[in-house]
Structure 1
Amino acid sequence: MSFILISRNKQFWDVFKGEKASIGASIGWGIIGFFLVFLGQTIGAYIELALGIDMGSENTEAIMSVTKVAPIMIIATVFLGPVLEELVFRRVIFGSIIQNYNFWIASIISAIVFAAIHMDFTHILLYTICGMIFAFLYHKTKRLLTPIIAHVLLNGFVTFIQMNADKFQI
């Protein structure tokens, strides 16, 4: 329903001036973005460890416990969640703020809101880093497709690892 309402307003998608990246470049940046987010989360995890914060997200654990009981949840976790979150946090929040402020202000505010909505305040740094990288990807390519790809890959990777954690134990 939301997409029908959005599609009626053609200007909704025109956040940035200038030419959008090609679909191929956007997909490539989405894949690169996954690795950027992974690197960002690794750095963030080291910072958290230095601050005495234990690894492991309550948000991820809660989603995975539901997913193990109802595997159909994988579709929501890996695909629907990232699409809706990118639409809300990158297009609506970041896209609205960047109309009047610079990239840094828009990305920090939208990333903190993104982090807060996950209700895992112990790891707010990790979610904020992800949000800022997703905002960078959107800003870089001017296409929402790019952070969606990176977000889907991230959630797919985390879901795969979590669902198969017993197989990876040493």
Structure 2
Amino acid sequence: MSIQKYSLFTILLYIIAFFSPIFATTSQASTTTTTVSYLLGAVLMILLYSNQVTKLTFENDHSSLVSVLFWGIVGIFLAIFLQTLIMQVEQFFGVPIESQNTQNIIRLVLQQPLFALAAMVGGPIMEEFVFRRALIGIFDSYSLTWLGIIISSLIFAFIHQDGHLLLYFSLGFFFSLLY
């Protein structure tokens, strides 16, 4: 399967999972639908990726398991540092530190504990496949990897819809570089 087809299917799965809760009739059904659709979307994206034989240009480097684990662990701390730094910059420019998106997710997790699976497992897995591989992959096939990283980071920032555009753009850009 070509990178373009893979990317299209991955993005389509994300859109379906993201918008499936609008068909639920109650808020209880909506959180259940979100949880199921996010987990199912993540599983389907993993399967789609595992059947993908075409690699992106920067995926051809075979990193050792130790290197991957090192950058995975160090990446967590670097992301926290970056988030703290960017939040200070945003606060300097008058952006409130609170995130309405995060507050809504916390409220839903407290009301429906199983929703944590959507927020902490399904959603992040889908985001990585969409924003780090599918969107960048579209541009990578035309040797425009950096443009793909920038556009992917911008879309990542806008999709979070809570006014922290610089924060989410920076994190999206960092995660793309880490990938």
Alignment TM-score > 0.5, same fold: yes
Matching of residue 40 in structure 1 with residue 40 in structure 2: no
Match of 2:121 in 1: 79
The structure showing larger relative contact order (alpha-carbon pairs under 8 Å, at least 6 residues apart) is: 1
Partner of residue 168 from structure 2, selected from 99, 104, 127: 127
* Cα offset, 1:27, TM superposition: 1.9
Pair 1:101–1:44, CA change in 2 (3 A): farther
Matching of residue 22 in structure 1 with residue 92 in structure 2: no
Counterpart Cα distance in 2 of 1:51 and 1:28: 34
Are the counterparts in 2 of residues 37 and 129 from structure 1 also a CA contact under 8 Å? Answer: no
Match of 1:10 in 2: 53
Instruction: Give unmatched runs, 5+ long, in structure 1.
Output: 139-170
Letter in 2 for 1:9: Q
Match of 2:96 in 1: 54
Are the counterparts in 1 of residues 137 and 145 from structure 2 also a CA contact under 8 Å? Answer: no
Counterpart Cα distance in 2 of 1:73 and 1:101: 39
* Cα offset, 1:93, TM superposition: 0.5
* Cα offset, 1:82, TM superposition: 1.2
Number of aligned residue pairs = 135
Are the counterparts in 2 of residues 115 and 127 from structure 1 also a CA contact under 8 Å? Answer: yes
* SS class of match (1:10): coil
* Cα offset, 1:101, TM superposition: 4.3
Pair 1:4–1:104, CA change in 2 (3 A): closer
* Cα offset, 1:19, TM superposition: 2.1
* Cα offset, 1:103, TM superposition: 4.7
Query: Percent of aligned pairs with the same residue?
Result: 33
Counterpart Cα distance in 2 of 1:5 and 1:57: 33
* SS class of match (1:48): helix
**C-alpha RMSD of matched pairs (Å):** 1.8
Match of 1:137 in 2: 178
Listed one character per residue, the Cα deviations across residues 66-116 of structure 1 (whole Å, up to 9, x for unaligned) are 000111122222221111100001010022223334554222211111111
Match of 2:27 in 1: none
* Cα offset, 1:134, TM superposition: 0.5
Please give the TM-score of this superposition, normalised by the length of structure 2.
Answer: 0.68
Letter in 1 for 2:177: F
* Cα offset, 1:5, TM superposition: 4.0
